[in-house]
Structure 1
Amino acid sequence: MFGAFRPSSVSLGGLLWKSPWRLSSTRKANQRARLKKVDSVIEAVRASGVQFSGLTKALALPKEHEMTAKDKYTTFNRSSVKFRKSVHKVPKFTRLTLRENPRGF
């Protein structure tokens, strides 16, 4: 049982991708900083005078300081128990704009 294919705790049924069930304060701070950077880019593009449909959609989204904590750190998920899912459980959440939720959620 020695060699390249020896059993380990991971291969014997352990979790391979360990992700905490709650966001740490550091990850929350990083999320807020990421949202602020996106807001600054949107504002810079608006100030440059360029017009396109993506910019009008982005300007309609709430800014970081206008969002509630629930919207900053969770997103809508139809299959979750309370219809919310922590943002770090969403694949590639650092690249997506997760500021829109259905009305009432």
Structure 2
Amino acid sequence: MFKPTLPRLGGLLWKIPWRLSPRQKFRQRRRLRAVDTVVDTVAAALERNGMPMAKAIDRWYDEMPREQEMLPKDKYTIYDRKEKKYRKGIHKLPKWTRVSQRVNPPGF
């Protein structure tokens, strides 16, 4: 009647692996590059139409690194002050495919 399985003994069993698969890393790089191309396209369209560059686009170019300039540590992990080494895999963040996590505190 009662089978001692892991979910029944310990509650909810999370099935999140501790590291990203190569396929997930590939898709993460592709998402970062897609965002870079969108920003470049908007900037080129504004320039082509003779409009001034938007403040948000200038700020993006000043603050955000491109996918090629990012270290793998910054591409696949995020800063988390509660973690042992202050980093955790980006896939542990809820909705990690929709949030830009390009800038982390320096030194971590």
What is the CA–CA distance in structure 2 between the aligned matches of 1:87 and 1:66, rounded to whole Å? Answer: 18
1:58 maps to 2:60: yes
Structure richer in helix, relative to its length: 2
Deviation, 1:97, is 0.7
Give the TM-score normalised by structure 1. Answer: 0.83
Instruction: State the secondary structure of the residue aligned to 2:10.
Output: coil
What is the CA–CA distance in structure 2 between the aligned matches of 1:31 and 1:99, rounded to whole Å? Answer: 12
RMSD over aligned Cα, in angstroms? Answer: 2.0
Task: Identify the residue that residue 33 of structure 2 maps to in structure 1.
Answer: 36
Task: Identify the residue that residue 19 of structure 1 maps to in structure 2.
Answer: 16
- Percent identity for Structure 1 against Structure 2: 47
Kindly provide the CA deviation profile for residues 41-87 of structure 1, in whole angstroms up to 9, marking residues without a partner as x: 01101111263332122212100011010010001111111111110
Gaps (5+ residues) in structure 2?
A: none
Count of paired positions: 101
